[in-house]
Chain A
Amino acid sequence: MNFLYSFVLVPLVLMMVIAVLRDVRTIRRVMAVGSSVQLVLSFVLLAWFLSLRALGVQDEMLFRSDLVWYPSLNIALSFGVDGISVLMIVLSAIIVFTGSFTSWAINEKAKDYFLWFLMLSIGVFGFFITVDLFAMFMFYEVALIPMYLLIGVWGTGRKEYSAMKLTLMLMGGSAFLLLGILGIYFSSGHTTMNLLEIAKLHIPVDAQRWCFPITFLGFGVLGALFPFHTWSPDGHASAPTAVSMLHAGVLMKLGGYGCLRVAIYLMPEGAQMYTTLFLVLTGISVIYGALGAIAQTDLKYINAYSSVSHCGMVLFAILMFNTTAMTGAVMQMLSHGLMTALFFCLIGGIYGRTHTREISQMGGLARIMPFMCVCWVVAAMANLGLPGLSGFVSEMNIFVGAFQHPDTFHRVITLIACCSIVVTAVYQLRVVGKIHFGEVVNEHHRALTDAAWYERIATVTLILFIAAIGCFPFFTVDIIHGSLGEIVSKFPALPF
């Protein structure tokens, strides 16, 4: 029995328990307990992982186990984690934990809601613990379909349109991905679907030439790669709060993680062939997302475009193929996951009270809900890269790593992408100034309450982790460094 199984089994058991429960309050409690258990488990995993590494276990992946599934097709359920996946699992557990507290106020069809929510989390956890292409793809799709109903049934605004758009675009991405996986499998000699073993084989350069772009694109759709990012603003704006948190916080990371682990790791030559094209696209994501956020007036749209910009930076960084930038990329995944979840949680809280997300219809909220305001300012500061919070560390790493490339193209595109930091400051500070400070715009707002206890739990947890990463960056950097060696060693020809 592999310890990693528990990450899929715990939500599965929770689903079964919740399926037989009837009372909403019991369901909430079960969810709270279950997600706390999962959070604890993820930290146990982290500690266990670190202690094994400290004992000198040098395997690329720890906790390896293979369950033979379809032997004639070389399909197995292979599990294993390295530092990056452990961090991703911790991130997912944090978001699921805070998400279930944020969903406390959901009363309409609460049981169905939590069932789908748990199914989504099974997909996410499953994706991060497997090292088998088939299983990864399967879990990826398991995570997609609950989104449709979560947004369609419990969402707000143009929910049917957004749900359909999101599902179809992501499924379109997975169509590319499936073709890429089949290409990788057959061109590596159709002997194994295991990532680690394929990495030892060599995929012919001719095959990489077409497999890399479609695989990268397939994952890139989920990572909000321009021009396939359009599902993200609509989807996030219509989704219920906890779903936005989980989706922007974790699901979009599946894209970045997949690009790193599958596309770049398995097809380094292919990656180098397409660097220019994809760097331009991700550069556009970064800048366009930030500028888009300025133009928006709906809080959720602002944050969704900001996510496009920040997730674009993840893909931008992993295309630099060096340790510094890739470390930044993984840090950015963590940092963006936490802060965007915090934002969505706060937006959900504010929207639940004021019933509006238009920034022009709010003002002076700092006086009415001081706690939420403080949290918001922390999130905004993390987002624009204030030292001491997580955003600074990740963006620093990304841009330093990117600037290490001596050629003009890389330098120019890095400079352009760097400008997004300034733009981020513009839209974040504008929102803070507009809705939290200044005069109270709507007199009805004076009667509103501050954050409820469950919202406080969620926000404080997120802020703690954001500050922890910002104040003790070397803890995470060391974990990531240890795992990037294999990937970076595939790029020996680069000048560093």
Chain B
Amino acid sequence: MNDLVQLMRPEMLLLAQVVFLLLFDLFAPDRARRHTDAVACALFLASIAVGFLPSTTGEAFGGMFTVTAMTQVVKNVLSIGLLLVFLQSRVWLSDERTSFKKAEFYILTLSTLLGMNLMISAGHFLLFYLGLELASLPLTTLVAYNKYSDESIEAGAKFVLIAAFSSGMMLFGISLFYGAAGADGLYFDVLSSRLAATPLQLLALVFFLSGVAFKISLVPFHLWTADVYQGAPTSVTAFLSVVSKGAAVFALMFLSFRLFAPLFEYWQYVVWALVVLTITIGNLFAMRQDNMKRFLAFSSISQAGYILLGMIAGTPLAMSSVVYYLLVYLVSNLGIFAVVSILENNSGKVHISDYRGLYRTNPYLSVVLMLFLFSLGGIPPFAGFFSKFFVFMAAADQGFYVLDFIALINTVISLYYYLLVVKAMFIADSENPIPTLHTDSWSRLCLTLCLVGTLFFGVFSGIYAFLSSGAWGL
């Protein structure tokens, strides 16, 4: 029992927070409820701190739930991401249209995170699917959170349909695996030993991968992304594009390294094509966007391609570079979303063309936004440069030079559209730029944290060393 508490510590803490917040929202007096944000953030911060304490590794429930050093690391990474989302969503939540249901936001996001943790630790398809659904369904509500906005409702409807559709695909894949491997074949370890690349198994793999590809929004399964990102409240978009995507990536990574090892050769073909399509199409569409949220949607699609590029090698270097890439992507992208939501909450403007002359009125916001964009574009000395370099290195290690080349050419394209935003802020001028804004202290804290991460995660190699400590390969 004690062992179980140790192993499931992050999950239990999350569950406790969800229950507590639920009760708090029901029974606490109004005066206390006004401070829901502070209570939720403080609790969550404490649970993150606990997450960094040394923990045991092992299995629970007969192998259904597994904990390794790496799963602990990636759970912590996701938690940090969620904390940053909390910090930047406070202003939006304090709005009169949402302030009465503040607690729901925290409850829903925390249960999503719980689902993600289960997904990452799963050692059995049942638990994996449970975690996946727990991570998707609350998100639907979150996407439609601004219930008086048509766009938000539309995005919610699209998201629930896509989530159901992709779950269906995945379930079909799982059921084919079940058919191919037998009754106890839903355990990853058992299934892995029975995989032999029969046509049925390959078909199952394709269905399963398509389901996951929807979640990570890889091309050609990305069509929902831009609409949902645009319609959802900005903080939820931030959560979707970083934490939710990151969780799916981690889950895919563990599955592909653990479960699909015998099919890796075939897996690589599929992923090769997915990487090329995702990076290229994401980039080409991002160039033409004016709405910042759609722009970030396509940018995050192409970023997912780079993450997958790191994964294709299947070595310990691949695993550590993917986790590192995601951490860096998390701080840079959440930083961008923080700036976007500050601008949106204060002035209602979300278009790149509205950002013209921003440097004149809001110099600090423009400079930090530029640094985050440079980091995403892979410019040194920001962390994004290092993470891109390692991902390319991981792929080159296994001889994927052609793929690296395609991805590298795409970084040039991506730099073009990141520079378009920089150009709007710094070079172009406008008659009526966004006026000088007041940034609230929570967003400022979020920006500072993201900035510190973006500036120092690369220069200080200790972060990478920590992340890679638990990495393993095929």
Contacts and interface: CB of A to CB of B under 8 A. Distances in A.
Contact of B411 (A73, A160, A171): A171
B392 A178 contact: yes
Interface residues of B, number: 30
Given A149-B422, A167-B419, A186 B397 contact: yes
B468 interface: yes
B422 to A, nearest CB: 7
B422 A73 contact: no
Interface in A324-364: none
Contacts of B389: 134, 178
Most buried by B among A149, A159, A167, A175: A175
Interface stretch (B135-143, B378-386, B430-438, B439-447): B378-386
Interface in A146-194: 148-149, 152-153, 159-160, 163-164, 167-168, 171-172, 175-176, 178-179, 182-183, 185-186, 190
A448 interface: no
B422 A182 contact: no
A168 B408 contact: no
B261 interface: no
B381 A142 contact: yes
Given A73-B390, A168-B416, A175-B411, A141 B422 contact: no
A160 B415 CA distance: 15
A15 to B, nearest CB: 12
B11 interface: no
A124 to B, nearest CB: 14
Contacts of A163: 427
Contacts of A183: 396, 401
Contacts, number: 78
B374 interface: yes
B465 interface: yes
A152 B405 contact: no
B250 interface: no
B461 interface: yes
Given A175-B411, A183-B396, A152 B416 contact: no
A70 interface: yes
A145 interface: yes
B423 interface: yes
B464 interface: yes
B1 interface: no
Interface in A177-226: 178-179, 182-183, 185-186, 190, 210
Would you call the interface of chain A mostly helix, strand, loop, or mixed? helix
Contacts of A152: 423, 426-427
Contact of A141 (B379, B390, B419, B468): B379
A422 interface: no
A69 interface: yes
Contacts of A70: 461, 464-465
A190 B397 CA distance: 9
A463 B27 CA distance: 82
Contact of B461 (A69, A168, A171): A69
Contacts of B401: 179, 182-183, 210
A138 interface: yes
A190 B409 CA distance: 24
Interface string B381-413: 100010001101100110001001100110110
Contact of B409 (A69, A134, A175): A175
Interface in B114-153: none
A186 B423 CA distance: 38
A72 interface: yes
A249 to B, nearest CB: 23
Nearest to A69: B461
Contacts of B390: 73
Contacts of A172: 409, 412
Contacts of A69: 461
Closest 8 pairs (CB-CB, A-B)? A175-B408, A182-B396, A152-B427, A138-B380, A171-B412, A70-B461, A172-B412, A141-B380
Given A139-B380, A142-B380, A182-B404, 5 more contacts: A70-B464, A73-B390, A148-B422, A164-B419, A185-B396
Interface of B: 317, 374, 379-381, 385, 389-390, 392-393, 396-397, 401, 404-405, 408-409, 411-412, 415-416, 419, 422-423, 426-427, 461, 464-465, 468
Interface of A: 69-73, 134, 138-139, 141-142, 145, 148-149, 152-153, 159-160, 163-164, 167-168, 171-172, 175-176, 178-179, 182-183, 185-186, 190, 210
5 contacts: A73-B393, A160-B423, A164-B423, A172-B409, A176-B408
